[in-house]
Amino acid sequence: EVQLVESGGGLVQPGGSLRLSCAASEFTFSSYSMNWVRQAPGKGLEWVSYISSGGSAIYYADSVKGRFTISRDNAKNSLYLQMNSLRDEDTAVYYCARRNSNYNFDYWGQGTLVTVSS
């Protein structure tokens, strides 16, 4: 069964940094593009970032552009999100999600909570 497991969330002060990881298993990670999606408490889903299977194409939501960096290590079957200059409004559960050949997000991790607060 495909598994995506996020880690790295926690409490951080405004202006601080955090690095999220997503460990993938039971599928050929290097063949799939990946995404980060977040959900603020009690709010809807917000797409954050996309990275192609080989890492050559990367896109960000305007709300995180210039502050967040997505990357991947196909040898380690891992996806990352480096988050800098964190703001209160970045508080959310962060999900990694696999994008399949139909361009849909067919598998999601369980999410990791990031809380930005002083």
Partner 1 sequence: DIQMTQSPSTLSASVGDRVTITCRASQSISSWLAWYQQKPGKAPKLLIYKASSLESGVPSRFSGSGSGTEFTLTISSLQPDDFATYYCQQYNSYSGTFGHGTKVEVK
Applying CB under 8 A, the span of 16-24, 53-61, 68-76, 77-85 interacting with partner 1 comes to 53-61
Size of the site for partner 1 (CB under 8 A): 21
- DSSP code per residue over 61-103: -TTTTTTEEEEEETTTTEEEEEE-S--GGG-EEEEEEEE-TTS
Residue 44 touches partner 1, criterion: CB under 8 A: yes
Give me the 69-108 binding string for partner 1, x by CB under 8 A, dash otherwise. Answer: --------------------------x------xxxxx-x
